[in-house]
Homo-oligomer: A and B are copies of this chain.
Amino acid sequence: MTGKLYLIPTPISPTDIAWVLPQLVQQSVGAIQHFVVEHPKTARQFLKKINSQYALQSLQLQELNEHTHDKDLQNLLEPLLAGHDVGLLSEAGCPAIADPGAGLIRLAHQHNIMVIPFVGPSSISMALMASGLNGQCFAFHGYLPIESKARIEKILSLEKLSIQQDQTQIFIETPYRNQKLLEQLAKTCAETTQLCIASHITAPDETITTKTIRQWRITPPPNLHKIPSIFLLHG
């Protein structure tokens, strides 16, 4: 019998864990002894908050992050093949969504290992839900190109796509480039295009605001510098 691979979302803001993780999910995580984590230090901080049945130092943490080679994924599968349940968690939010982990999950499917996702915070879902933009048809693109010309072209193509397909376009930026991205969106998009900016999701100072580009141009720009944000656009 192989173990099961549990996918464990983690908090996306410094908020009480009882806001973002259901009680039975917390209890189940507390019963797992083997983990695959993005960074052991922050993973331990999270696992400390969960009432684990095991002493923190007896938890088995293996690393999976941007430095992990595909050929090392097979090693991460070992505890599962030996019959242990394994919890996969990333730094914040849902593993394998805009985060590492998909390669390991694919490999688990190839070995007929059961993969079980838990409920928890997803900034993409929560921003989309709260944006008021089309939730029947949407696309997430991750990061836009960094280079200015390529980025403007991408913004224009996303705006066009959103009109043609009635599809909400979702993207993110590294927080210290948010302000610049907002300026470029305000300059580049049509006046009537809707833009939602969702910042600090689940935190006490969460703000989720949808306005037309015309309105964003006249509103004093929000301070997004270094503030985790997600952008949603619909032309």
Q: Determine whether the beta carbon of A18 is less than 8 Å from that of B7.
A: no
Contact of A115 among B7, B107, B109, B132 (CB under 8 A): B132
Beta-carbon contacts under 8 Å, A99-127 to B = 99, 101-109, 115-117, 119-122, 124-127
Is A135 engaged at the interface, CB distance under 8 Å to the other chain?
yes
Across the interface, name the chain B residue whose C-beta is closest to A7.
B129
Which B residues are CB-close (under 8 A) to A189? Answer: none
Which B residues are CB-close (under 8 A) to A202? Answer: 119
Which B residues are CB-close (under 8 A) to A208? Answer: 115-117
Across the interface, name the chain B residue whose C-beta is closest to A5.
B130
Is A19 engaged at the interface, CB distance under 8 Å to the other chain?
yes
Is A134 engaged at the interface, CB distance under 8 Å to the other chain?
yes
Is A95 engaged at the interface, CB distance under 8 Å to the other chain?
yes
CB distance from A28 to the nearest CB of B (A): 9
Beta-carbon contacts under 8 Å, A66-118 to B = 94-99, 101-109, 115-117
Q: Determine whether the beta carbon of B24 is less than 8 Å from that of A22.
A: no
Interface residues of A (CB under 8 A from B): 7, 16, 18-25, 94-99, 101-109, 115-117, 119-122, 124-142, 167, 194, 201-202, 206, 208-211
Given contacts A16-B24, A21-B22, A124-B125, 9 further A-B contacts (CB under 8 A): A19-B24, A98-B136, A106-B133, A107-B132, A115-B130, A117-B125, A117-B208, A119-B119, A119-B120
In the assembled complex, 26 residue pairs joining A and B whose CB atoms fall closer than 8 Å, in A order, are: A7-B130, A16-B24, A19-B24, A20-B22, A96-B129, A96-B132, A97-B125, A97-B128, A97-B135, A98-B136, A99-B135, A101-B135, A102-B131, A102-B132, A102-B133, A105-B129, A106-B132, A109-B210, A115-B130, A117-B201, A119-B121, A122-B125, A125-B125, A136-B142, A138-B140, A139-B140
